Amino acid sequence: MITKERMSFISGYVDSLFPNAKCELFYNQDYELAIAVMLSAQTTDKAVNAVTEGLFKEYDSLEKLANADIKDIERHIKKLGLYKNKAKNIQGIAKTLLNDFDGKLPSDKDALQTLPGIGNKSAGVIRIEIFKIPDLPVDTHIIRITNRLGIASKKDEPIDIERKLKKLIPESSWIKTHHQLIHFGRYFCTAKSPKCDGCALREICKFKNISS
């Protein structure tokens, strides 16, 4: 098990690389962020931003989304994977918010997970971004980084990795570290051709050992 001292070193390094890391999904209304987070499953934030611009411009309220022609929602997001199911989730989110939450995004994690397509990770992202509630949701980038650095093992589920990170990192730093680890995985410690040369974590990285 990695020590808190080593985790502090890792956190300090990613902080030096990405001191101002933040969510890169575009949104104006709270519910738009929930939809964008749902859409980001198995695709990039850049791809999501490209389709939500037109979607949210045409359907600028929950009521319009709830009553939209599902085929037209599909048309807007067709470039994304699983777009048919995601279109149903978009409309489902709108209807659930209107029917169960008076049109307001809930802050409770269990309540958020009643929205179609919103699981533990997505609920955590929403709580961080909209409500500034400390959480440390784990995405594919964080899974890759924690495996390479020995924080987690390949058998660990995302919720296992989340628990491990929360034990190693002070709660006051959860939000910042969440964003910084994602940026580190997205732009530095990438799945293919990571920038290993000059990386301060090279000596503790399993990927380096495998690829050397």
Question: First vs last Cα of the chain: how many Å apart?
Answer: 24
- The one catalytic residue among 135, 139, 164, 176: 139
> What is the distance between the alpha carbons of residues 165 and 10, in angstroms, rounded to a whole number?
12
pLDDT at 208: 65
> Would you say 162 and 137 are in contact if contact means Cβ atoms under 8 Å apart?
yes
> What is the distance between the alpha carbons of residues 163 and 20, in angstroms, rounded to a whole number?
24
> Would you say 92 and 62 are in contact if contact means Cβ atoms under 8 Å apart?
no
* Residues in CB range of 141: below 8 A, 6 or more apart: 181, 182, 184, 185, 186, 189
Active-site residue flag, 139? yes
Instruction: Split the chain (212 residues) into runs of 10 and give each run's mean pLDDT.
Output: 92 97 97 98 95 97 98 97 96 98 98 98 98 97 96 95 97 98 97 93 81 46
Tell me which residue of 30, 27, 26, 60 sits closest to 45, measured CA to CA. Answer: 26
> What is the distance between the alpha carbons of residues 15 and 211, in angstroms, rounded to a whole number?
26
- State how far Cα 39 lies from the chain centre: 10
pLDDT at 210: 54
Could you give the 3-state DSSP secondary structure of residue 119?
coil
118-173 pLDDT tens trace: 999 999 999 999 999 999 999 999 999 999 999 999 999 999 999 999 999 999 99
> What is the distance between the alpha carbons of residues 194 and 8, in angstroms, rounded to a whole number?
22
- Which residue segments constitute the domains of the chain, with CATH numbers given? 4-21+136-211 (1.10.1670.10), 30-131 (1.10.340.30)
pLDDT at 2: 87
Give the Å distances, CA to CA, from 119 to 67, 79, 116, 188: 24, 23, 8, 27
> What is the distance between the alpha carbons of residues 57 and 165, in angstroms, rounded to a whole number?
38
Q: Residue 42 carries which DSSP code?
A: T
- The one catalytic residue among 86, 121, 164, 176: 121
